[in-house]
A and B are shown apart, each in its own frame.
Chain A
């Protein structure tokens, strides 16, 4: 029995999609026309050409040399590098800490279990912005004043300006590594490596916050390995360390990796909160650019695009990793 054109399932499917697409296009067109009309009526200029204009502002800390005469795109790049710096250090630190706490939560020792539980509950149930603000206040209020820093042998300095320590650099004139030692003068430190309180606050704050989640993920991974595996390992005489390394970890890893990636992504996205404590990450610099040039739409679109690329890239990497590690069932 041939149903009519309108009653065929194919037709209905296409009609629904058509209707949805039409609705969406109309909505977007309406929003766009509003935006363009508003911008025209108010004489707001638009376009990405501002990226090649002179930035005109300095950035407090950057990994590459940056001067106020450099263009805006370079300022954005400095912001991106600062974000990546926080993310990489934070990811490393939170993984180590989180693994320790996660392992502690499944250990035999009741004290370790209890403390691990208290730690995860405490750090998971407090908003990350609040934790960052508390860290910043602690680092700034309770550090010694920059005029009288705590120093160890003129090599390490600890003050409200941050932590400074020497670093070996390659010196071409002597063809060898020399120590680049921080020099303290009148409350300011030059040379050496300085970690500002802003960087420390955001890295430590994010690491401790994310490590609570990583601990949960690690715990879930370890618990997911069937007890039979451990008992079998014991029965063939493997020591504790061998069991952990060769039986427990490989199987636990498969369960741990996907949610762990999620946590790494969360840490990267949470680093955008640096704008609240004065660390010049991507969002903070984009904010400054937004205020100096008035191009709100372009700047916000740019940061969303960058974060999207970071997220999608990491997800793709992890999916590939996951494919390789997937359990090949019988």
Chain B
């Protein structure tokens, strides 16, 4: 063509454009600074799982995961109310965390290798040791998960549940047919309409759904088998070790507080009077552990005052007096035979 100077210009422009491609962008700002500047923490929670993360009709959020968020916000910003809750469905939760839309994901999420290694996320500490189970209608007469041969099972998409179900089905030769729904409400509706023989998710989720969605909770039974380990806990983004440490140690602090008998009710008294060196360290009287995390020395005091210690959080949201009526089980303190074992805060 005769327009060679134009062609040269076109080529130059293309080269210029492509060179922009290979310039890297610095990761902007640390999470803690952003939160402090915003004076608000953004917490990703469940859309509506009673006991873990659910909003009532006034828009007030309650639940075990919500209380953990409040504790972290209190430790960092001074008040558990400085949180904005973003309800996320299972498929959306990881991309919301990866993209920076939320600061921490507290949404009964299972810790797995894939999630820790390949999604660009970090798992902090386990807040709930759980397992996957099945719920069946009582009148179906099924007493054990091994009786689910050729059964249709309702399951929600985007969770570890699907894979565990497949593994269980294969290991026991059950040829289970999963019916996979995008939304939790659709999966619940299908199960309670009788489409599926069984419903599967974490056992705590089953208890929650049964208590809230079943017309008569006694008509549905949770089968005794737990087919997988589901350690649930909050996740944060990779690349920010400071924030990772803060969230992790707030949770450990709550567990340690229960071990040493610090509750939201007696914390003021203990702060004033206690002479136990561990308690004094936890409450910031002797050492300033907060400074090492980037916070002030009252960080754990505020967290415990806002939400209570781990045991109180458990009992308030999912304990025996709530409709879920879950026993401590593996979530008891290690000294009592459970799995909650906090490294020393020192």
Query: Is B9 within 8 A of A58, CB to CB?
Result: no
* The stretch of B11-19, B219-227, B251-259, B269-277 that contacts the partner chain: B11-19
| Interface locus among A211-219, A238-246, A282-290, A310-318 | A282-290
Is A115 engaged at the interface, CB distance under 8 Å to the other chain?
A: no
> In the complex, what residues of A have CB within 8 A of residue B163's CB?
56-57, 68, 292
- Assess whether B71 is interfacial by the CB under 8 Å rule: no
Which of B9, B181, B194, B197 lies at the interface centre, i.e. has the most chain A CB atoms within 10 A of its CB?
Answer: B194
Question: What DSSP secondary structure best describes chain A's contact surface?
Answer: helix
Determine which of B20, B27, B177 lies in contact with A26 in the assembled complex, contact meaning CB atoms within 8 Å.
B20
Q: Are B10 and A284 in contact (CB under 8 A)?
A: no
Contact with B along A272-293 (1 / 0, CB 8 A): 0001111010001001101111
State whether A284 and B13 are in contact (beta carbons under 8 Å apart), knowing that A188-B152, A188-B197 are contacts in the complex. Answer: no
Most buried by B among A14, A28, A57: A57
Query: Are B186 and A58 touching (Cβ within 8 A)?
Result: no
Please give, as numbers and ranges, the residues of chain B lying within 8 Å of A284 by CB-CB distance: 157, 180, 182
Query: Is A128 engaged at the interface, CB distance under 8 Å to the other chain?
Result: no
Q: How far apart sit A18 and B9, CA to CA, in the bound complex (Å)? A: 8
Q: Is B90 an interface residue (CB 8 A)?
A: yes
Q: Chain B nearest CB: distance from A8 CB in Å?
A: 11
**Is A125 on the interface with B (CB-CB < 8 A)?**
no
Question: Which chain B residues lie closer than 8 Å to A276 at the CB level?
Answer: 181-183, 186
Quick one: which of A59-98 are within 8 Å of B by CB? Answer: 59-61, 67-68
Q: Hey, which chain B residues are within 8 Å of A187, CB to CB?
A: 140, 151, 197
Residues in A282-330 with C-beta less than 8 Å from chain B: 284, 287-288, 290-294, 296
CB-contacts of A187-227 with B (<8 A): 187-188, 190, 196-198
Please tell me if the beta carbons of B181 and A42 are within 8 angstroms of each other in the complex: no
Asked whether any CB of chain B lies closer than 8 Å to the CB of A178, the reply is: no
Segment with Cβ contacts to A, from B55-63, B112-120, B306-314, B329-337:
B112-120
Residues on B with C-beta less than 8 A from A290 are 91, 158
A266 in contact (CB, < 8 A): no
CB distance A190 to B150 under 8 Å?
A: yes
Question: Are A278 and B181 in contact, CB atoms less than 8 angstroms apart?
Answer: yes
The distance in angstroms between the C-alpha atoms of A40 and B23, with both chains bound, is 13
CA distance A137 to B187 in the complex (A): 12
Residues on B with C-beta less than 8 A from A228 are none
> Least Cβ distance of A168 to chain B in Å?
23
Q: How far is the CA of A231 from the CA of B146 in the complex (A)?
A: 73
User: Contacts of B16 on A, CB cut-off 8 Å?
Assistant: 22
A115 to B104, CA, bound (A): 56
User: Which B residues between 1 and 55 are near A, CB-CB below 8 angstroms?
Assistant: 3, 6, 9-10, 13-14, 16-18, 20-25, 27
* Cα of A25 to Cα of B20 in the assembled complex, Å: 10
Chain B 333-344, CB-CB to A under 8 Å as 1, else 0, gives 000000000000
> How long is the Cα–Cα vector from A37 to B28 in the complex, in angstroms?
11
Q: Which residues of B contact A141 (CB under 8 A)?
A: 193
User: Which residue of B23, B90, B152 contacts A33 across the interface (Cβ within 8 Å)?
Assistant: B23
Is residue A171 within 8 Å, beta carbon to beta carbon, of the partner chain? no
| B266 contacts A by Cβ under 8 Å | no
Output the least CB separation between B242 and chain A (Å): 15
A68-B186 CB under 8 A given contacts A14-B6, A25-B14, A187-B197: no
Cβ A292 vs Cβ B120 within 8 A: no
- Contact across chains for B179 and A41 when beta carbons are under 8 A apart: no
B228 within 8 A of A: no
- Could you say which residues of chain B place their CB within 8 Å of the CB of A32? 21
Min CB–CB distance A301 → chain B (angstroms): 15
Cβ–Cβ contact A29 & B18, under 8 A: yes
| CB-contacts of B149-193 with A (<8 A) | 149-152, 154, 157-159, 162-163, 165-167, 169-170, 176-183, 186-187, 190, 193
Docked CA distance A22–B169 (Å)? 55
Q: How far is the CA of A49 from the CA of B28 in the complex (A)?
A: 30
- Chain B residues in 8 Å Cβ range of A43: 118, 120, 238-239
Known contacts A278-B181, A293-B118; A29/B21 CB under 8 A: yes
Q: Does A121 contact B (CB under 8 A)?
A: no
Within 8 Å CB of A105, what residues of B? Answer: none
How long is the Cα–Cα vector from A185 to B17 in the complex, in angstroms? 65
Does A147 interact with chain B (Cβ within 8 Å)?
Answer: yes
| Cα–Cα, bound, A197→B194 (Å) | 12
B237 interfacial by beta-carbon distance below 8 Å? yes
Q: List 25 A-B contacts (CB under 8 A).
A: A10-B3, A22-B17, A25-B13, A26-B20, A32-B21, A33-B22, A36-B24, A37-B24, A42-B98, A44-B119, A57-B162, A60-B180, A140-B194, A145-B194, A196-B179, A198-B179, A277-B186, A278-B182, A278-B186, A278-B187, A284-B157, A287-B91, A292-B162, A294-B119, A296-B95
| The 4 A-B residue pairs with the shortest CB-CB distance in the complex, in nearest-first order | A42-B120, A25-B17, A291-B158, A37-B25
Could you list which residues of chain B lie within 8 angstroms of chain A, going by C-beta atoms? 3, 6, 9-10, 13-14, 16-18, 20-25, 27, 90-91, 94-95, 98-99, 114-115, 118-121, 140, 149-152, 154, 157-159, 162-163, 165-167, 169-170, 176-183, 186-187, 190, 193-195, 197, 237-239
Task: Given A25-B17, A57-B162, output 4 extra A-B contacts at Cβ < 8 Å.
Answer: A33-B22, A34-B25, A284-B180, A292-B162
